[in-house]
Amino acid sequence: MATKDKLVNFTNRDLNDLKEELLKKYPPKVARKRAKQFMVNEATDGNPPEIQANVRTIPGIITMRGCTYAGCKGVILGPTRDIVNITHGPIGCGFYSWLTRRNQTKPESNDDWNFMPYAFSTDMSEHDIVFGGEKKLKQAIREAYEIFKPKAIAIFATCPVGLIGDDIHAAAREVKQDLNDKGVDINIFGFSCEGYKGVSQSAGHHIANNQIFSHVVGLDDDAKPAKYSINMLGEYNIGGDAFVIEELLNRCGIEINSTFSGNSTYDQFARAHTADLNCIMCHRSINYVAEMMETKFGIPWIKVNFLGVDSTAKSMRKIAQYFGDKELIEKVEEVIAEEMPAVEMALADIKPRTEGKTAMLFVGGSRAHHYQDLFKEMGMRTLAAGYEFAHRDDYEGRRVLGDIKVDADSRNIEELEVEACPTRFKPRKTEEEKAQLEAEGFEFKGYDGIMSDMSTDSLVIDDLNQYEADELVKRFRPDVFCAGIKEKFGIQKMGIPMKQLHSYDSGGPYAGFKGAVNFYKEIDRLVNSRVWSFMKAPWEKNPELSATFVWENN
């Protein structure tokens, strides 16, 4: 198969051949490992093939992944506006995680805290590395308190902090105690999210969520949740997604009690235990929080997806079905009906230009799955997809959870021991009610993973790297490729439009019905832009000399 021959009508055999051919380039050890992370999605009686995921990145292989700190400070705490997030380390980590994820936030008033445009760091110097940075950290926390008087300060450990053994938790406790003794109501806590822990951002999500769960969730018992009160977990409000979802649900009468962590606040985390249902968007980043909340407080959880019109409607109906009130069920149908004409109009316009086109998605730990719904609605086919930092359950579904081998890199991420809270545990549904719902086809705690939704003649690849991405693009020439900023311009140099699905480029929101319309328009613009026809000059396309000169014709 020549490198530049475009694969059009391919069989699974072609795909397996392609896989073998790509692997040949690697040293044998690397090839053996990649072979387990690179799958043709051949389902046999509904059981997708086993894929290797959440294993170490291979040194020297150009990965798409980031680190534990990025997952903790950047992804999870990044969208929370009223916590002063101090990075304890040299300046780089704090600088790079400063406003780069396009998490939007909307304080309720101009007096509200919003620290998201700020970057706080201890800017450690050589002296601090040699003699220890705890003193500087404590001083930095005090200075942050003096200047900003926030209700909470969070500390994030970077690589060298773990090595030199600074105890950020002790520093946080000490300053907190001291301030509390002086009558200041402030919460201060730390995250041991050194970049080298774990194999990807995923470890950082876990560390972040554990600490929010331990230090904040459950602190505010006075909240008075609405009649239909839910928490939205794993939604990060990139480009304003959370605003759309919130508006949509509010119109139905459903209140979002807290979001983890798009447009989120400290107070929302503190009252999270008062909601009646947890809805998970990004399964990877937060499924364990839903589990812990169910155990500790009795809040059931369901998987939802607000990307794609059908998925949005399905998720809204699922929430309504959970509460089971006729009035709510009808209201939800009414709101869906209100939204649909605009969607149908947009699709009628756009679909003739997108139908039959192809996409590839390599991003995140649920996004590569969810966005396929939007592409499907546009009549587009996903040829290949995979996650950057997912685990096997995100690929194969939660049924494989018991089979996942816990290795050393996962073992160093703390698993919280959670039990029912003696005072706050309150089952939202009786076992009979749950059984009744399940009998009606309602699914609690379920996620089937990306593979079950993808066709059997597509590729599923974990931790895609730059060499494989280039080869995939050369062979398939997809009409659009979705990944992150590091991948964007290399793909575009090959003449393939690249859409960032971490930060959405400059676009969004893409959630809900309004977001779907935005996405349709964006993809239409990308795949039909004239710019992709400009790459070759006319004389490169037609190099033969022609016989006449223009002026001879006059």
Partner 1 sequence: MDKLLRHTPTEVAERKALSINPAKTCQPIGAMYAALGIHGCLPHSHGSQGCCAYHRSMLTRHYKEPVSAATSSFTEGSSVFGGQSNLLQAINNIFTVYEPDVIAVHTTCLSETIGDDVPQIVDKAKKDGKVPDNKYVVSASTPSYVGSHVTGFANMVRGMIKDFAEPTGKKNGKVNIIPGFVEPSDMEEVKRLAELMKVKTIVMPDTSGVLNGPLTGEFHMFPEGGVTVDELKDSANSRGTLALGEWASAEGARYLDTEYKVPCTVLPLPIGLNNTDRFVDTLRRLGGVSVPETILHERGQLVDLISDYHQYFYGKKVALVGDPDQLIALTEFLVSIDMQPVHIVTGTQGKTFYKRIEEITKDAPFEPNVKEHGDMFLLHQWIKNEPVDLIIGNTYCKYMARDEDIPHIRHGFPIIDRVGHQYFPTVGYRGAIRLLEKIVDALLSRLDRDNPVESFELVY
27 is a site residue for partner 1 (CB under 8 A): yes
- Find the DSSP H helices in 216-240: none
Contact characters 252-281, partner 1, x per CB under 8 A: ------------------------------
121 is a site residue for partner 1 (CB under 8 A): yes
Q: Which is nearer to partner 1, 433 or 471 (CB)?
A: 471
Tell me which amino acid residue 473 is.
V
CA distance 63 to 498: 17
Cβ atoms of residues 306 and 245 within 8 Å? yes
Instruction: Identify the CA nearest to 65 among candidates 81, 54, 76.
Output: 54
In a 3-state reduction of DSSP, which class is residue 249? helix
Helices 512-528 & 241-252 angle (0-180, nearest 10): 140
Token digits of residue 411: 């073992």
Distance separating the N- and C-terminal Cα atoms of the chain: 49
234 is a site residue for partner 1 (CB under 8 A): no
158 is a site residue for partner 1 (CB under 8 A): yes
Token digits of residue 328: 């709510």
| CA dihedral of residues 48, 54, 55, 59 (deg, nearest 10) | 120
Distance of CA 515 to the CA centre of its chain: 17
* Min CB(468)–partner 1 separation in Å: 10
246 is a site residue for partner 1 (CB under 8 A): no
Q: Which is nearer to partner 1, 450 or 491 (CB)?
A: 491
Number of other residues whose CB lies within 10 A of the CB of residue 185: 8
* Min CB(342)–partner 1 separation in Å: 30
Residues numbered 61-120 forming contacts with partner 1, rule: CB under 8 A? 61-70, 86, 89-100, 110, 113-115, 117-120
Q: Which is nearer to partner 1, 155 or 254 (CB)?
A: 155
Residues numbered 312-331 forming contacts with partner 1, rule: CB under 8 A? none
In a 3-state reduction of DSSP, which class is residue 68? helix
Among 400, 492, 521, 528, binds partner 1 (CB under 8 A): 492
Q: Which residues of 80-104 are buried (b: 16+ CB within 10 A; e: fewer)?
A: bbbbbbbbbbbeebbeebbeebbbb
CA distance 368 to 360: 9
Phi, psi of 362 (to 5 degrees): -135, 95
Residues numbered 127-146 forming contacts with partner 1, rule: CB under 8 A? 128-129, 136-137, 139-140, 143-144, 146
Stretch that binds partner 1, among 59-67, 243-251, 331-339, 443-451 (CB under 8 A): 59-67
Residues numbered 390-429 forming contacts with partner 1, rule: CB under 8 A? 408-409, 412
* Min CB(498)–partner 1 separation in Å: 10
- Find the DSSP H helices in 36-90: 68-69
Catalytic residues: 67, 70, 101, 205
Q: Is 478 exposed, middle or buried (0-12, 13-18, 19+ CB in 10 A)?
A: buried
Stretch that binds partner 1, among 225-233, 322-330, 347-355, 528-536 (CB under 8 A): 528-536
Count of residues touching partner 1 (by CB under 8 A)? 89
Contact characters 356-395, partner 1, x per CB under 8 A: ----------------------------------------
CA distance 354 to 379: 6
* Min CB(442)–partner 1 separation in Å: 40
CA distance 170 to 167: 5
Q: Which is nearer to partner 1, 146 or 419 (CB)?
A: 146
494 is a site residue for partner 1 (CB under 8 A): yes
7 is a site residue for partner 1 (CB under 8 A): no
499 is a site residue for partner 1 (CB under 8 A): no
In a 3-state reduction of DSSP, which class is residue 278? strand
Q: Which is nearer to partner 1, 397 or 508 (CB)?
A: 508
* Min CB(470)–partner 1 separation in Å: 6
186 is a site residue for partner 1 (CB under 8 A): no
Q: Which is nearer to partner 1, 122 or 382 (CB)?
A: 122
